[in-house]
Amino acid sequence: MRTLVVYCHPADTSFAVAVRDAALEGLRAGGHEVRLTDLYAEGFDPVFSAFEHANHRTAGAMDPVVARHADDLRWCESLVLVYPTWWAGQPAMLKGWIDRVWTNGVAWELPEGANRLRPLLRNIRHITVATTHGSSKLINALEGEGGKRTVNRSIRVLCHPRCRTRWIAMYNIDRSTPHERARFAQRVSDRLAREQRQRR
């Protein structure tokens, strides 16, 4: 299976690095072809420009960097997002990637006279999120888990009609021990390896 991993964290000393590496280890253990996108490392510009906004309903030429990311989305069958949950959602860098890459002509189209978007990323059948939360599961539930809704109710519907999402989350990371963090990283690796083998 062709899998795109999109990683988002600004610090190379973060626990998110261990989660990313665990995800890659699990995927490769399943024998799958993997592409990694590290948004901060490549200096991705997350700003959805005035020009892009003015032309967002017209599919056409796009920034070459954005076009490369769009090609990766069209290539993959499985998408894995690795990021910390900040303010109940995706970091601004990752949200900007969604804003700029999941666009008309890439993720959706609006046919003439239609009032509903038509999904275009039907090649994507699986989406997995590996994320961390500073607060508890209860606090996140009370906040509404906006990041989870973005994935399940917005991104997923632009993929294959039977696209499945999986949420692998560590809550209370601010109070966690090194042992608990190591266990979570191993869970990410094991679950991706197991799920990817089951999908073949």
Convert the pLDDT of each residue in 25-60 to its tens digit. 999 998 889 999 999 999 999 999 998 888 887 777
Reported pTM:
0.93
User: Cα angle vertex 18, ends 13, 19, to 5°?
Assistant: 125
Contact (Cβ atoms closer than 8 angstroms) between residue 115 and residue 163:
no
Number of domains in the chain: 1
Domain of 115: which CATH number? 3.40.50.360
Using the Cα atoms of residue 162, residue 79, residue 128 and residue 1 in order, give the sign of their dihedral.
positive
Convert the pLDDT of each residue in 106-130 to its tens digit. 999 988 888 889 999 999 999 999 9
Q: Kind and range of the H or E element at 38? A: strand 33-38
Determine the Cα–Cα distance for residues 179 and 195; give it in Å rounded to an integer.
24
pLDDT of residue 108: 95
pLDDT of residue 140: 87
- b/e per residue 81-109 (b: at least 16 CB within 10 A): bbbbbeebbbbebbbbbbbbbbbbebbbe
- Single out the residue of 66, 98, 77 nearest to residue 35, CA to CA: 77
Determine the Cα–Cα distance for residues 179 and 161; give it in Å rounded to an integer.
39
Determine the Cα–Cα distance for residues 129 and 149; give it in Å rounded to an integer.
12
User: How is residue 74 written in tokens?
Assistant: 């069209």
User: In the chain, count of helices (H) and strands (E)?
Assistant: 8, 7
Determine the Cα–Cα distance for residues 6 and 98; give it in Å rounded to an integer.
11
pLDDT of residue 197: 54
A 10 A CB-CB count for 31 gives: 11
pLDDT of residue 53: 87
Determine the Cα–Cα distance for residues 182 and 177; give it in Å rounded to an integer.
9
Percent of the chain residues past pLDDT 90, beyond the cut: 80
Range of the domain at 99: 2-199
